[in-house]
Chain A
Amino acid sequence: SQKIEQNSEALNIQEGKTATLTCNYTNYSPAYLQWYRQDPGRGPVFLLLIRENEKEKRKERLKVTFDTTLKQSLFHITASQPADSATYLCALVAGGGADGLTFGKGTHLIIQP
């Protein structure tokens, strides 16, 4: 079955630095990969989607890369701010069409002032 691995330990970053989160997957070749942000007590919020033929995608201070050879996606937040502190989830499409997503367990990011 599809397996997605994200750093289970919290990631502490100094404000202003770039935070880099890793998502590795096995047993599947997804056509799409998505990143979500989740705050305590709230549902996940969509951030970015990247397709297999896109090496990189940017949105404001966010950047996502997708390496289908390494089966890995990297999620970068540049000029990080304390407000960026949250849990970030990587997700792959479980199947074709309107199938649900398969999520990683998420990485808890803490931006220190």
Chain B
Amino acid sequence: NAGVTQTPKFQVLKTGQSMTLQCAQDMNHNSMYWYRQDPGMGLRLIYYSASEGTTDKGEVPNGYNVSRLNKREFSLRLESAAPSQTSVYFCASSVDPGQGSHQPQHFGDGTRLSIL
């Protein structure tokens, strides 16, 4: 049972470089999310996708772009990485069959990203 798979697990970038974080889920979930987790800040929502073909900004979207490639995959792109984007990035998914259902979210084990 893979659940939510994130790649890569670790990455070091130089300031200004770009990269894409990959996320895939095999639970046939409609909704997918990207969070970042920083010491003393907790998890913060970057972007989410309620369903295939839609994406919306979360609390901290600046400096990021996302693509909901299909129902399984939701990628996060850093176009020009900055040291402030050093963080642990988590992808999550949930069933969310309709408004107000608020199903539990299933998380991957994260990508640890360092920007030098």
* A→B interface (CB under 8 Å): 31-32, 34, 41-46, 49, 89, 93-94, 96-106
Contact = CB atoms under 8 A, between A and B. Distances in A.
Given A98-B31, A100-B45, A100-B48, A46 B40 contact: no
Contacts, number: 71
B99 interface: yes
Interface stretch (B13-21, B75-83, B106-114): B106-114
B41 A105 contact: yes
19 contacts: A34-B105, A42-B110, A43-B4, A43-B90, A43-B107, A43-B108, A44-B90, A44-B107, A46-B106, A49-B102, A49-B104, A89-B43, A96-B99, A97-B50, A98-B48, A100-B35, A101-B33, A102-B45, A103-B44
A41 B110 CA distance: 8
A32 B48 CA distance: 19
Contacts of B51: 98
A93 B105 CA distance: 11
Consensus secondary structure, chain A interface:
loop
A103 B41 CA distance: 9
Given A98-B31, A100-B33, A106-B42, A41 B109 contact: yes
Contacts of B30: 98
